[in-house]
Amino acid sequence: MLPQSSTVPPKVDVFISGAGPVGLLLAYHLTKLHHSVYIVDSADKASPDFPMYGRASTLFARSLEMLDQLDLYDALAQEGLHSCQTFTYRNGERVHGRGWKIFENPGSSGTFFEETMNLRLKFSEDIIRGKLEELGGEVHAPWKVVGLEVDEDAEDDYKCRVECVDPEGKTRERREEAGWHSIPWTAKDRHWVRMDGVVKTNIPEARNGFGSVESPSHGQVLWLALDHGATRIGYALNDKLFEKYGRSMTPEQAVYDAKAAVAPFELEFERVDWHTVYGIQQCVAERLVDRERIILAGDAAHAHSSGLAHGMNTGVHDVVNLGWRLAGVIKGWFGQPILQNYSDERRGVAHQLIENDKIASSLIGGERPEQFKGRPEDDMALLGDFLEQTSGFALGVGIFYPKNLLNDVDNALGSVPIQPGHRAADTLLHKPGLRRLTVRLHELMKYNGKYRILVFTGKPHLSQSLLQTLRLQVDKHQQRFAHAVDYMTIIDGHGKNLDEYLGVRRFGSGFWDGDSTAHMKFGAAENLGCIVVVRPDGIVGASAALDGFEDKIVPYFGRILLGVAAQKGALTNGLASVGQLINPFENNLEHSRKNAAMLA
């Protein structure tokens, strides 16, 4: 940041308003991809005087996979509580097959992350902020965005000036390209309590991770074992209780009703770290990309209850889906349709999330949704069945995107069971020379902003002619894609030297699939092999036969990547978004201008 006396505001690629988990993750991701980022927040949460807070605390399997590919999982895992155990009690008796049973076996969905992690937002934000600082980044707080000027006649690519104010009224200015987009919010007439603290209880499995107590007065009571020996308790405030307490419920009152909620079990609080009363809001922004420049993610884009613990998980998905696009457009690799595609994909997921949340939050609060009226089961049994039906979505592993510009369903190879738009499977491989040690495919595909072309060779002595054809086609088109694509060769077998065993020069880095598991997961026959294109966010984009590179894969990238001339002429510095700003229709930004990100 320039000194206060400077009259020239500093310039950055991306400005981010909001240093919550989504803002921090995006700042970290973009900084790793070598972009300049300026992130502000109205609260200095890094201050030792900032009070403890809980909020988002649960990370599911797919989120953990993605955080691992961002090189953040290990640090978070050191502090989190990991568990795949659940329990449900009713009238003091253990009840089976209800509650949070979907979290007991995430591995059945094809992930190696078989335990859910509980880590309060205070600690996860501290860790991500620390990793950002290790890269040279910094959160500027407490600063509030209060103004924006758009200068279409600016001599450079930075068309906007963002004004921030600190608590003492001092200002800082940033020059960027930006704009504003408003969101219609709707609220439900339901209120919940969440509280964290250190407790003593006679609930038998209190530290098992996910638990619930079915209460006639407080709905399905959430019991969550947290990091650092803490526990989260959550319960619904019915109309009578909300009339009694309102939003000004004190910690003592929250403790009193928590004890009533888990009866007949006993509960004592040694310490209350945090508590809140909140009304449920459920909505999705009309669009996540506005005027090719303003991008919404996280809570700025969608709101829902905390009943299914989707908040931070959805934010992680947003960042991973967005980060590579924003970086690629700034670099000049991709055109604006790639950013619009972010809005289309994530809004679709957000709408599904809201529909699921409406059902789950109603059942948790003891209200029966219209579609369940007339069913003989009680509300908690219906909730358990509903969670089971939507478990893939809840864990994140089953989230997928429809056919679109990036997901070439029409030309996909029929033998590949993973359709474009779906998560690429994780599997175990061997590095050359390491027969006894395995490495996961996802570990080899860290998020570096590039596409991956996976070449499943089959048995090379059976697929030799196809491999030779592929080698010729890749060499012919290599220079068109080299800047945005990495290759990986997965060989069905095990040998002493990759190229010698393969019979042609390998494609990128090579790995052994000694037991053919990877080939089976991706539908690669031993005599045919296949090609699978994986997007930078780990989603399958396209697939083809080994001899279909020129006919299927080259046209795919031709639709996505800008030409060399366009790349050379592209803007390399653009910008991001801001908070509560000016006229939503001020200036209509041109197609070629760079983009911004706005985070909650």
User: Looking at the domain covering 1-78+119-186+284-348+386-399+565-600, what would its CATH class be?
Assistant: alpha beta
pTM recorded for the entire structure: 0.89
Enumerate the domain spans of the chain: 1-78+119-186+284-348+386-399+565-600, 187-281, 428-561
Q: Please list, in sequence order, all residues whose beta carbon lies within 8 angstroms of the beta carbon of residue 8, skipping any fewer than 6 positions away.
A: 2
The whole-angstrom separation of Cα 252 and Cα 258 is 10
Only one residue has tokens 């369940």, namely 372
| pLDDT value for 317 | 97
User: With contact defined as beta carbons under 8 Å apart, do 11 and 161 qualify?
Assistant: no
Cα–Cα distance list, 371 to 236, 383, 573 (Å): 22, 13, 50
Do strands 451-456 and 485-492 pair parallel, antiparallel, or not at all (unpaired)? parallel
What are the pLDDT digits (tens) for 218-276? 988 999 999 999 999 999 888 899 999 998 999 999 999 999 999 999 999 999 999 99
Percentage of residues in the chain having pLDDT higher than 90 = 61
Residue 448's CB is within 10 A of a number of other CB atoms, namely 14
CB 180 within 8 A of CB 584: yes
> Mind listing the pLDDT tens digit for each residue in 163-183?
888 766 555 554 443 333 344
Q: What is the pLDDT of residue 188?
A: 56
Cα–Cα distance, 29 to 24 (Å, whole number):
8
Q: Classify strands 37-40 and 139-140 as parallel, antiparallel or unpaired.
A: parallel
Q: What is the pLDDT of residue 189?
A: 67
Contacts 24+ apart (CB under 8 A), 260-264: 260/215, 260/217, 260/218, 261/213, 261/215, 261/217, 261/218, 261/221, 261/233, 261/235, 262/201, 262/203, 262/213, 262/215, 262/221, 262/223, 262/233, 263/215, 264/91, 264/92
Matching fold, domains 1-78+119-186+284-348+386-399+565-600 and 187-281: no
Q: How far apart are CA 424 and CA 537, in angstroms?
A: 10
Domain 187-281, CATH class in plain words: alpha beta
Which of 98-112, 122-136, 398-412, 437-451 shows the lowest per-residue confidence on average (mean pLDDT)? 98-112
**Given 3.40.50.1260, 1.20.210.10, 3.40.30.20, 3.30.420.10, which CATH number is that of 428-561?**
3.40.30.20
Q: Given a cut of 90, is residue 600 above it in pLDDT?
A: no
Instruction: Give residue for tokens 């229709």.
Output: 585
Distance (Å, whole) CA 149 – CA 39:
18
First to last CA, the chain: 22
CB 149, CB 181: distance < 8 Å: no
Does residue 37 sit in helix, strand or coil?
A: strand
CA distance 188 to 242: 13
Cα–Cα distance measured from residue 37 to residue 575, given in angstroms and rounded to the nearest whole number:
9
CA atoms within 13 A on the CB side of 211: 21
pLDDT single digits (tens) 297-326? 998 898 887 777 788 999 999 999 999 999
Task: Check whether 431 has a pLDDT greater than 80.
Answer: yes
Instruction: Judge contact between 27 and 70, C-beta under 8 A.
Output: no
Q: Which residue has the tokens 């928590």?
A: 258
Integer angstrom CA distances of residue 394 from 68, 85, 313: 19, 16, 9
The two three-digit tokens of residue 86, written as one number = 């659940």
